[in-house]
């Protein structure tokens, strides 16, 4: 049985606090095709209540997280009804060792984002 897991954390760098209420979709990517395997929303700490994937669900391959940042930015009063600079933010990454913890955080503001492999 695999012991890996996938987690995330969304921080609002413009407001200096966790981004609560961000919808996140997780896809498995094979070639040009992707299939949704999970959809969660961040809690008050900017995290999902549990891992997005864990155990045998974590397999070697390519995944994509899509963060619905535009919805969050509008709900938090940082954006109006106009076209947003950042709306949906996709992060595609690879899992080479399914027994490892993959933490993929997102730092967002209305005009920038960054990510990294966390621990």
What digits encode the pLDDT tens for the residues 26-84?
A: 999 999 999 999 999 999 999 999 999 999 999 999 999 999 999 999 999 998 888 99
Is pLDDT at 1 greater than 70 in this prediction? no
Beta bridge partners of 94: 62
Confidence band, pLDDT 50/70/90 cuts, at residue 3: confident
C-alpha triplet 119, 31, 29: angle, nearest 5°: 35
What DSSP string describes 29-68? Answer: EETTEEEEEEEEE--TTSB-SS-SEEGGG--SEEEEEEEE
The Cα–Cα gap between 17 and 20 comes to 9
Confidence band, pLDDT 50/70/90 cuts, at residue 2: low
**What is the residue whose two structure tokens read 């899992």?**
95
Question: Whole-model pTM?
Answer: 0.94
Q: Per-residue pLDDT tens for 83-115?
A: 999 999 999 999 999 999 999 999 999 999 999
Instruction: Report whether 52 contacts 60 (CB < 8 A).
Output: no
Residue ranges and CATH numbers for the domains of the chain are 5-106 (2.60.40.180)
Query: Which residues 6+ apart lie within 8 Å of 12 measured at CB?
Result: 18, 19, 46, 72, 76, 108, 109
């Amino acid at each position: 049985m695999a012991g890996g897991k996938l987690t995330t954390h969304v921080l609002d760098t413009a407001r200096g606090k966790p981004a609560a209420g961000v919808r996140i979709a997780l896809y498995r990517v094979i070639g040009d095709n992707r299939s949704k395997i999970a959809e969660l929303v961040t809690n008050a700490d900017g995290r999902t209540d549990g891992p997005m994937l864990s155990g045998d669900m974590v397999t070697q391959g390519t995944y994509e997280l899509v963060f619905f940042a535009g919805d969050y930015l509008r709900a938090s009063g940082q954006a109006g009804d106009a076209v947003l600079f950042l709306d949906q933010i996709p992060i595609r990454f690879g899992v080479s060792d399914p027994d490892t913890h993959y933490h993929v955080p997102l730092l967002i503001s209305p005009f920038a984002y960054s990510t990294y492999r966390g621990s």
